[in-house]
Amino acid sequence: MKGVLEGIRVLDLSFALNGPIAGRILAELGAEVIKIEPPWGSARDFAPIVNGESINFIFINANKKFITLNLKTKEGVEIFKKLVRVSDVVLTNYRPGVLDKLGIGYEDLKKIKSDIIFVSSSGFGYNNPYSSLPAYDYIIQAMVGMYGVTGLEDLPIKTGPAILDVISGTFAALATLAAIHYKSLTGKGQFVDIAMFDVGLYAMIENIAGVMFEGKGSRFDKRLGNRHPVTAPYALYKTKDGYVFIATASDEQFHKLCKAMKMEHLINDKRFLTNDDRVKHVEELDAIINEWTSSKSSKEAVNILREYDIAVAEIKQPSDVIKEPLVTIRNMLVDVTHPKLGNIKILGSPLKLSETPGIVKEPGYPIGYHNIEIYKKLLNMSEKEIEELKLKGII
């Protein structure tokens, strides 16, 4: 099955997680994504390392083709410009201004190819006092207030995964799709400026809405542990062998929970009649639920509550999740073949479309794996020319 983006060529200059995730999404949808790295590699040392290969890199850069090119050399820059002439999109997560200094910023590239789509996914975006600052996921989380609402009352705690890198990469891919569609309508390319800061603020939409109208120190402006600011019960509860998360968002759901626990009397308890009452008396309510869950194993609690159509889940480790039947049912672990590691499984695509689904067919390959294929096919170089460039440190 052909991908919906077949025929679209993306030059991926990104590294680490934010930019590469955007490239992977486009590749899942069928774009030819050519990852360009310096001859010494880029973010290939992220653990775990197996047989000299970063598994992190292999997962994040699935479906791409891999070439090397030294953009710190004049000849490398000229080769890159030739690649731009036969491509549709340039993707980068370098700080604003870095590529401009090399002569390959958006203004430079649109002189070479007027309809190029230039996608930047940086920490703070272009043309502001923060543009040149270094940025990582957890730095942005701190700046947009995520630490202010995540963790315990006296202890800010970061999220486990680098969620803003992944979300920013997803927004960059979404913006790229919009730019590709616009180009199909008008023939015009454009500059896409995605900032992790903006995306982080967007992710905080409920809290920002809350503090805009309830103010500083309100329930939307503080860390509540595992509780929710506007509904209860909606929290983590101890079991005999771990924890479960139980979420109710209406009176009807709370009534079902009471019936599941054989505590129907709580339905008419004045402390818990409405959601506002339950939020006000959340300490007492959580103590009651916690006593019930503590007498059950996690699986037992989940099975009982799901019989009553209550949203509940056992708290699992990543090592447990990969054994979850739904992972197989949803095709979220797929078999691929790596030239050094052989047959391995990597994460599949969450893009489930009836006609044009996202497909993961290949892992991230070793550095420069497609040099000969790409330089021959796109720039008509001979193998001798390619070898000479390699000896000169250009590729």
Side-chain-facing half-sphere of 229: CA atoms under 13 Å? 16
According to DSSP, residue 94 is labeled: S
> Helical H runs in 48-162?
55-60, 74-85, 98-101, 106-112, 137-143, 146-149
CA 58, CA 222: separation in Å to the nearest integer? Answer: 38
Q: What is the dihedral of CA 361, 365, 368, 370, to 10 degrees?
A: -20
Measured in whole angstroms, the distance separating CA 313 from the mean position of its chain's CA atoms is: 22
Strand runs (DSSP E) across the chain, as ranges?
9-12, 32-37, 49-50, 53-54, 65-68, 89-92, 117-122, 151-152, 155-156, 190-195, 234-238, 243-247, 311-314, 333-338, 342-347
- Please, are residues 125 and 48 in contact by the beta-carbon 8 Å criterion? no
Pair type for strands 311-314 and 49-50: unpaired
165 is catalytic: yes
CA 59, CA 332: separation in Å to the nearest integer? Answer: 12
DSSP labels, 218-262? SGGGS--TT--SS-SSEEEEE-SSSEEEEE--SHHHHHHHHHHTT
Q: Which of 165, 251, 269, 276 is catalytic?
A: 165
State the catalytic residues: 165
